[in-house]
Amino acid sequence: MRKNIFSLFMVLLFSLLLASCGGSGKEKAAENVYPVIPKPVKLEPQRGRFLFNQDTRILYYPANDELKQIGGYFSDLLKSAAGFSMQVVAADEDASKPNTVFFSLDTTLDLNDEGYLLDITTRAIEVKARTPHGVFYAVQTLRQLLPPQVDGGRQVALSDLSVPCAKIEDQPRFPYRGLHLDVGRHFFPKAFILRYLDLMALYKYNTFHWHLTEDQGWRLEIKKYPKLTQVGSCRKETLVGRWRGEKNATYDGKEYCGYYTQEDVKEIVAHAKKLHITVIPEIEMPGHSLAALASYPQLGCTGGPYEVATHWGVFKDIYCAGNDSTFKFLEDVLTEVMELFPSHYIHIGGDEAPKDRWKHCPKCQARIKAEGLKDEHELQSYFIRRIEKFLNAHGRDIIGWDEILEGGLAPNATVMSWRGIKGGIAAAKMHHDVIMTPGSHCYFDHYQADPKTEPLAIGGFLPLEKVYSYEPVPKELTPEEQKYILGAQGNVWTEYMATTDYVEYMVYPRACALAEVDWTPASEKDYGDFLKRLELNLEHLKAMGVNFRPLDKDAANTQEKQKEKEQ
């Protein structure tokens, strides 16, 4: 009897608690989960859910076009799933109405410019941030809290169109959170680039590094130099399988072409802007330039003829540094690039430029003499500095791969450390900004598991957990020097990724892990917890038809067991 009274009391108490959450969706009150990636700095779970319905409105203050646009973006996101559009309306500062999503800006908040406060109650959703960028990220968090079908644009029962109540305070650890894509080795259509950006926004990446020119293809329309795309965007055939030298090579015999028109680029850059992503174009120099030399042979030391490369590797023919017409050409190209890309940074490559041709080129040797340079490394440094000067004069700064340290670093250059972390450390110690992208942790072209069980990749081994374990700030730096580390970037070289499906397979879910490296405080990271969130979070990618690599079976359990063993 006493037991029955106790049970009755518990049932009553539970019902009261649920009722206090209001609205329908009560049955879900006790099972709120928060599969948000990257993990927010602070998330206090609350009981209950906010339910969207036909009357839910999005209010924003102040009357700011960007906020209005983010409201429209959120409304569009829900539209197919909900079967209705939420109204987006400018409001007063103190608007606090039931059944609203309220965005407001407040520059006095103690957050950085990409941070946000998100308060989800059963009554309303309130978002506060210093800038629209922060509001946009609150919306991405909401997106991950909504049912995954919403991202798939599939109709959801109204009773399921809800987010769990929570109080969230969030901001990124690093200001640069990058993902790269090589479209030189393989070309991917505009629609895929737009989708790549959409996925980046979901994980709060803010920089897309677009590697546009390569030995195997020049992918960007330049009006002043039409041969770059007429000639340079096509190769006559492509290597089959792995590159093991010419003696062992077989080719597919099929012409391979592709490039982005300037109209395509404008559309991509505009789309990225809406997603608060900066697109940094990379125009490679002095190496990885065979496609340009094939188009304009006078830009090389020997005068050619040259062919767009048909296999992978590093090629000896590079831009001639002794020829003033090389600089005229590059400045003209960069002028069009700057018109297309508003990014503060232009990436000028700088990696893997063999000096063989320069050693034997009378023009290059004459340049070394005339400029009082010590050797070909200093000639490369001269090359990069000259280009930097041009771009600086137009208000832009350069990023270069860590080879630009050799022969002397250009005065205002940011270094992308890829051959391990040494280049990053050296640059930070010289008080230059650094983006960390070491092959050991950030190269998504490496294998994710035993090569015997995986599709062909370039080599290396970079499982999900290793990406997650990455700490971008080297211990070798003093606290003052650490400030030069802007963040980390995942690199996606596509020699062995011929299809968009395969790119997605290689990028996800590793890009989810790197997103957390870039965003979440190191002290808050926990791989076991990440895996649990990831398992649910991947349902969003599934709903969108993303061809991500499935998690290893029992990866979470293995992690738990490992932890138990360690304790």
| Binding mask of the shown chain, residues 315 to 344, with x at each position contacting Zn ion by CB under 5 A | -----x-x----------------------
By CB under 6 A, residue 307 contacts ligand ACM: no
User: What is the closest distance, in whole angstroms, from the C-beta atom of residue 418 to ligand ACM in the complex?
Assistant: 4
Q: Which of 401, 444, 470, 496 binds ligand ACM (CB under 6 A)?
A: 401
Q: Restricting to residues 212-271, which ones interact with ligand ACM according to CB under 6 A?
A: none
Q: For residues 174 and 484, is the Cβ–Cβ distance under 8 A?
A: no
Q: Which does 50 bind (CB under 5 to 8 A by kind): ligand ACM, Zn ion, none?
A: none
Closest residue to bound ligand ACM by CB: 351
Helix (DSSP H) and strand (DSSP E) numbers for the chain: 19, 23
User: Does residue 332 touch ligand ACM according to CB under 6 A?
Assistant: no
Given CA atoms 361, 363, 369, 371 in this order, what sign does their dihedral have?
negative
Which token pair is 565?
Answer: 């063993």
Choose the contact partner of 352 out of Zn ion, ligand ACM, none; CB within 5 to 8 A by kind.
ligand ACM
CA torsion 10-11-12-16 (nearest 10°) is: 100
Does position 133 bind Zn ion by CB under 5 A? no
Gap between the Cα atoms of 102 and 86, Å rounded: 12
361 lies in the binding site for Zn ion (CB under 5 A): yes
User: With contacts defined by CB under 6 A, how many residues of the chain interact with ligand ACM?
Assistant: 4
Q: Find out whether 108 and 313 touch, Cβ atoms under 8 Å.
A: no
Instruction: Give the one residue of 301, 333, 334, 514 binding Zn ion; rule: CB under 5 A.
Output: 301
- Name the binder of 309 from ligand ACM, Zn ion, none, CB < 5-8 A by kind: none
**Which DSSP state fits 44?**
E
Closer of 66 and 215 to Zn ion (Cβ)? 215
Verify binding: residue 352, ligand ACM, rule CB under 6 A. Answer: yes
Which residues neighbour 13 within 8 Å (Cβ) at sequence distance 6 or greater?
none
351 binds ligand ACM (CB under 6 A): yes
Other CB atoms within 10 A of residue 6 CB? 10
Q: Please provide residue 285's backbone torsions phi and psi, each rounded to the nearest 5 degrees.
A: -160, 155
Between 132 and 287, name the residue whose CB sits nearer to Zn ion: 287
Window of 60-68, 73-81, 240-248, 355-363 that interacts with Zn ion by CB under 5 A: 355-363
**What distance in Å separates the CA atoms of residue 442 and residue 447, rounded to the nearest whole number?**
12
| DSSP symbol at 399 | E
CA angle 148, 150, 155 (to 5 degrees): 120
Which of Zn ion, ligand ACM, none does residue 361 bind (CB under 5 to 8 Å by kind)?
Zn ion
Specify whether the CB–CB gap between 417 and 435 falls below 8 A: yes
d(CA 488, CA 436): 5
Least Å distance, CB 39 to ligand ACM, is 29
Q: Is 299 in the site for Zn ion (CB under 5 A)?
A: no
- Which residues contact Zn ion by CB under 5 A? 301, 320, 322, 361, 363-364
- Which residues contact ligand ACM by CB under 6 A? 351-352, 401, 418
